[in-house]
Amino acid sequence: MIENSFYYIKQKDIKIEDVKNILDFNLRLKLSNESEERINSSRKFLEDKIKDDTNLYYGINTGFGSLCNYPISNGDLKKLQLNLVRSHACGSGDEIDPLLVKIMLLLKIKSLSLGFSGIKRETIERLIFFFNEDILPVIYESGSLGASGDLAPLAHLSLPLIGEGYVNYNGERQKTKDLLKQFDLSPIELGAKEGLALLNGTQFMSSHAVWAAITMNRVFDWVNYVSALSLDAFNCGLSPFDKNVHELRPYVGQKRIAKTISEILHNSDLHSVENKDVQDPYSFRCIPQVHGASLDSFEDFVSKTIIEINSVTDNPIIIKDQNKIISAGNFHGQPLALSMDFMSIATAELGSISERRIYKLISGTRGLPEFLIKDPGLNSGFMIPQYTAASLVSKNKVLCHPASIDSIDSSNGQEDHVSMGSIAGVKLMSIIKNIERILSIELLVAAQAFDFRKSRTSSPFIDLLLKDFRKVVSFLENDQVMHELMERSLCFLQNHELKKS
């Protein structure tokens, strides 16, 4: 809920659009009264339980992983949690994007605020402080197996709470202890279960899924517009987009894509072009079926992501109303791992069919010059951008190997099946970035092709798109460094606001 530049963390679900708004408008987080009460109540229940109860509770008064049967004395419970955060900060590789870190913070705060984790409100408030002040812990890409939660990445997320590790602040990497001094803050003293509540969870995986959901919403808009421009430039028939066709095979995505393409091309004189081929290549004719299947997969992916980011995914879980502390497996990333692997395939297919349209547009058919250049032979024109698109498509095919089919035994066999969801998330992010590049090449090529149809006009939507595009990328008269044109096209695709109505 948004009020006066604050987003209140409540007990109701947070949506993908909420996350986007929080990031876009730099909203500050604040706990609702109800969330504060649930957090405090859960913490009091846990403290009373371990004070008066001699039972062993995993990770609260026992060791971790395969050391779960080692009891820990009450006097060592704080040290146990401190040791956990330090020992599990084993990230490796590249630093992840600070935007992903900010999403991780938001999702961790949301999960802990539901009141089933037994964490102190002061600890959550420090996480909120980090989020609001853009103090972003340094987190590394590799280290999580996606099962005991994202242990290593979340350990790095938690290190600054105890005054250790590094953060990015105001564009600079700093030691946490130095930054805390700037704000006159002391490290948090973790109590029983707090380190475990912080480290168990799927927020590394989930942050990648949320980023993918936000980005793919925009990518699908571009998929529709760019493919519509290609249809127009290639003088394609529009009968494959007739709604009667899709009522006979009523997949939701297929129907939506056909309808959207028809709307984008409404009033284009493509409808009146004579002497068209009887049928177009599949990469044009089957746009509703191929793009639509990916859109259906995306909708399923988003629904699973929403479930995940509104769930309790640490362990053990505190069920105060039933006087229970339950050790279970909500930290296992299998639902997200499978979903992100499938989304990787669905996304890669958008790039695969896009590259085929690029290939057709430069092929020297349907009245277009070879490689879309006025003097082919002397000029190579758009010959090699197609190579680049093909290279990116091939790379995506390799990245589509599912991470979720792998599992490596860990923690002396206690954690004997893992999801590798973190790897699925990293791969999905790479595939989406490649798709943006492929689509930007198709946009570049389709715009060039349409400029050879000087006697024709397109729809108002496409005309406006081309007018704006030509402000940053000119028609290619003679060969030049194509990388620069491709980068301008990519920048245009990533930043231009499409007119949708």
Domain boundaries, the chain: 2-201, 208-495
Indicate which residue of 58, 166, 169, 225 is catalytic: 58
pLDDT at 53: 67
pLDDT tens for the 501 residues of the chain, in order: 556 699 999 999 999 999 999 999 999 999 999 999 999 999 999 999 888 767 888 888 888 777 778 888 888 888 989 999 999 999 999 999 999 999 999 999 999 999 999 999 999 999 999 999 999 999 999 999 999 889 999 999 999 999 999 999 999 999 999 999 999 999 999 999 999 999 999 999 999 999 999 999 999 999 999 999 999 999 999 999 999 999 999 999 999 999 999 999 999 999 889 888 899 999 999 999 999 999 999 999 999 999 999 999 999 999 999 999 999 999 999 999 999 999 999 999 999 999 999 999 999 999 999 999 999 999 999 999 999 999 999 999 999 999 999 999 998 888 889 999 999 999 999 999 999 999 999 999 999 999 999 889 999 999 999 999 999 999 999 999 999 999 999 999 999 998 765
Dist CA 403 CA 340 (whole Å): 9
How would CATH label the architecture of 208-495? Up-down Bundle (1.20)
Residue-wise DSSP of 403-420: GGG----BGGGTB-----
User: What's the CATH number of domain 2-201, 1.10.760.10, 1.10.3720.10, 3.10.20.740, 1.10.275.10?
Assistant: 1.10.275.10
Q: How far apart are CA 325 and CA 339, in angstroms?
A: 30
The answer to whether 187 and 78 are in contact (CB under 8 A) is: no
Q: In this predicted structure, what is the pLDDT of residue 276?
A: 87
For the stretch 383-422, pLDDT in tens is 999 999 999 999 999 999 999 999 999 988 888 899 999 9
What per-residue confidence (pLDDT) applies to 4? 66
Q: CB under 8 Å to 254, separation ≥6 — which residues?
A: 246, 288, 289, 292, 293, 296
The answer to whether residues 121 and 235 touch, using CB atoms and an 8 Å cutoff, is no
Nearest to 404 by CA among 344, 314, 328: 344
Cα distances (angstroms) measured from residue 243 to each of 229, 239, 246, 256, 467: 20, 9, 5, 10, 30
Is 58 labeled as catalytic in the residue annotation?
yes
Report DSSP state, residue 376: B
The reported pLDDT for the residue numbered 3 is 60
Q: What was the pLDDT predicted at 501?
A: 52
Q: For residue 68, what pLDDT is reported?
A: 76
Q: What is the pLDDT of residues 78-121, one digit of tens each?
A: 898 999 999 999 999 999 999 999 999 999 999 999 999 999 99
268 three-class SS: coil
pTM (two decimals): 0.96
* Confidence (pLDDT) at 499: 76
CA angle 179, 185, 189 (to 5 degrees): 110
CB 315 within 8 A of CB 57: no
